[in-house]
Amino acid sequence: MAPSTPSSVVSRSGRFSGGPAADVAAFSESISFDWRLWRHDIRGSVAHATMLRSIGVLTAAELKAIKAGLATIGAEIEAGTFTWKTELEDVHMNIEAELTRRVPAGAKLHTGRSRNDQVALDVRLWLRDEIVALLDEVRTLQRTLVDLGASNDSVIIPGYTHLQRAQPVYLAHHLLAYVEMLDRDHGRLMDCFDRANVCPLGSGALAGSTLPLDREQVAKLLGFVGSDGKPRVTQNSMDGVSDRDFMVEFAAAAALLAVHLSRLSEDVILWVSSEFGFIRIADAYTTGSSLMPQKKNPDVAELTRGKSGRVIGNLMSLLTLLKGLPMAYNRDLQEDKERLFDSADTVRRCTRLMAAMLDNTTINASACARAAADPLLLATDLADYLVGKGMAFRQAHHVVGAVVALAEKTGRPLDRLTLADFKGVDPAFTADVTSVFDLGQAMARRRLTGAPGTAEMKKQIARWRKSLG
Ligand code: ARG
């Protein structure tokens, strides 16, 4: 029999004499944010209904009607014509109530299912899609960084420690450091996908069901399968409804990705400053000041740096949310979604915009060359030169320190000292000392795996080009 009003399928039917106080309804609703699970909710319901048909709970005609009804509702949601009702609390109830209003068999859809395993299913389905999309954005950003480095592969900049000029590196080498970080982010997201990719449906409210549900069939229909093609279903009903580890893992992977993007942003912000002037960002990716007419600000990078705060916060919120929960489902868990959505939305946008901004960034090669021409960047090479002459490194370090002090005292750059100056500090210096200050040669000398040398940098670019396609 078709219930005549949507509210008759609400969880309160039967047991309660009336609806919740208006304040309570507004306090406990989640439709204002979980509506976005609608696609996955419908997908899950179609799989569940298909299984209910195969175990004889639904007739073929009922299944057909349910599927058609859900498809129509999906189309209406997509078109923006579906009316969400706050009094129906959440996405699950909104869709089921509307389906049942239109299709009598809708009243059988919730057989052997609880909103507890339904929402656990929906968020897993949603997160899987989200991770796939994010992985794609991460790859795009990696490619952008490789391309920017490759098309400026002769540009050398100072490498910094303590934000003090340290040793020369290729700009490409600096950018490839982020490609490495992003690759680990990619790996972490893949791991997270694997853990999310287990079907909780059939866990019921917390204790499964007395009905002969075919959990494996549902899992297969929803793509919860391992690389061996076997269905993957949760193995404990209480864990199945209350496990949010996969969300925490995603939030952690997202937070680390956000931190990497924030570090990259910081480099961009420094590089675009007048003090560095290493890069120029296209107007479309910068903003002006309402007061100072000359300003062109790197707001995309600044906001990316700033937004890492909320992504880190979301991870803390989720952990705190979970830590005191007794078994099994508790309504507290409704609070997980906004944090999850926010982390996913934020890192996806930041990753996409970072790639777009860098795609519209040019390198100021002459400013980079001016900075990289600082001979002090090669002070360590000078010590290595003395090591090559047989001197102990500690002594060489001391000698070069004295040479640097002499240069400073006499107001000359390191490479303008005469051979007599060098010899005056230590007789180990010979005429070939000038070759130390040839930057091209200095870069060629850096041959170790992972070093910023010319050949190695080109090798790394080629490696990434190949693996990123
Ligand atoms: N909106 C709820 C959530 O997000 C769905 C599950 C509600 N279950 C319940 N027994 N009240 O967690």
Task: Give the residue whose CA is nearest to atom 12 of ligand 1.
Answer: 334
- 8 A C-beta contact, residue 58 and residue 67: no
The predicted pLDDT at position 5 comes to 40
Strands 164-170 and 361-363, sheet pairing: unpaired
The string of DSSP letters for 285-316 reads G-B--SS-TT--B-HHHHHHHHHHHHHHHHHH
Q: What is the tally of helices (H) and strands (E) in the chain?
A: 18, 4
Question: Sorting pLDDT into bands at 50, 70 and 90, what band is 14?
Answer: confident
- pLDDT of 6 > 50? The answer is no
The average confidence (pLDDT) of the chain is 96
The tens digit of pLDDT for each residue in 228-287 reads 999 999 999 999 999 999 999 999 999 999 999 999 999 999 999 999 999 999 999 999
pLDDT tens profile 86-120: 999 999 999 999 999 999 999 999 999 999 999 99
Query: Taking 70 as the threshold, does the pLDDT of residue 1 lie above it?
Result: no
Q: Which of 35, 113, 331 to mutate to test the pocket of ligand 1 (most atoms within 8 A of CB)?
A: 331
User: How far, in Å, from the CA of 213 to the mean position of ligand 1?
Assistant: 22
pLDDT (0 to 100) of residue 3: 36
User: What pLDDT, on the 0 to 100 scale, is given for residue 15?
Assistant: 84
The predicted pLDDT at position 186 comes to 98
Query: Which helix (H) or strand (E) covers residue 138, if one does?
Result: helix 115-150
Considering only 40-54, 183-197, 287-301, 436-450, which range has the smallest mean pLDDT?
Answer: 287-301
In sequence order, the 6+-apart residues with CB closer than 8 A to the CB of 437 are: 375, 378, 414, 415
Domains observed in the chain: 22-111 (1.10.275.10), 116-370 (1.20.200.10), 372-468 (1.10.40.30)
Which tokens in the block code for residue 126? 């949603």
- pLDDT single digits (tens) 132-143: 999 999 999 999
Residues with CB under 6 A from ligand 1: 30, 34, 90, 115-116, 119, 331, 333-334
Residues 6+ apart with CB under 8 A from 339: 251, 314, 317, 318, 321
> How close is the Cα of 189 to the center of ligand 1, in Å?
26
CA 119–ligand 1 middle distance (angstroms): 7
Give the active site residues: 162, 289
- Which pair of tokens denotes residue 311? 């992504």
What pLDDT shows up at residue 10? 59
* CA–CA dist 288, 357 (Å, integer): 16
